[in-house]
Amino acid sequence: MFPVRILIVDEHPEVLNRIETRLSQEDDFELVGTASNGAQAISIAKETKPEIILIDPIMQDGSGMRAIKEFRDQLPIASIVVLTAFVDTSTRVELEKAGVGSILVKGIDTGILVKTLRELINNQDKK
C-alpha cells in the first residue's frame, strides 16, 4: 500500500505544525504540502494531487470555502476533511453540499485525527 497523500490548509501556523508533526510519524501518510490560504492550497493541490485535504473552511480572507468548492471541481476523487473551531448549521449544510467527507473540531487529539483519516481511507477502498 502506498502512503496516502495529504495536504493541510490552515491559517494558524501552530495548527499546521501540530498536525504536520503527527502525520510525519505515520508510515502510511505522506504530507505533500501545507498552505495558509485557499489560493495557496489550490496551487499546491493542482501540482501534488493529494488524496486527502485537511482544511479549515473559515479563514479570515474567506478563501477556505472557495477552495473546497474548487477542489470538488478539479480533484473530485480527493477526500476533504474539515478541521475547524466551530461550524454553525448553515455552514454544515454548505459543507455537506460541497461533498466534505468529515467535519472535525480543531484541537482534536492527533491520535483520533489519524484514526479518523485511516477510517476514511478504508471506507474509500470499500467503494
pLDDT tens digits, 19-77: 999 999 999 999 999 999 999 999 999 999 999 999 999 888 888 989 999 998 888 88
C-alpha cell at 25: 510519524
CATH code of the region 4-126: 3.40.50.2300
Cα 120–Cα 5–Cα 92 angle in degrees, nearest 5: 45
Evaluate whether 41 touches 70 at the Cβ level (below 8 Å): no
In the chain, where are the structural domains located? Answer: 4-126
C-alpha cell at 98: 460541497
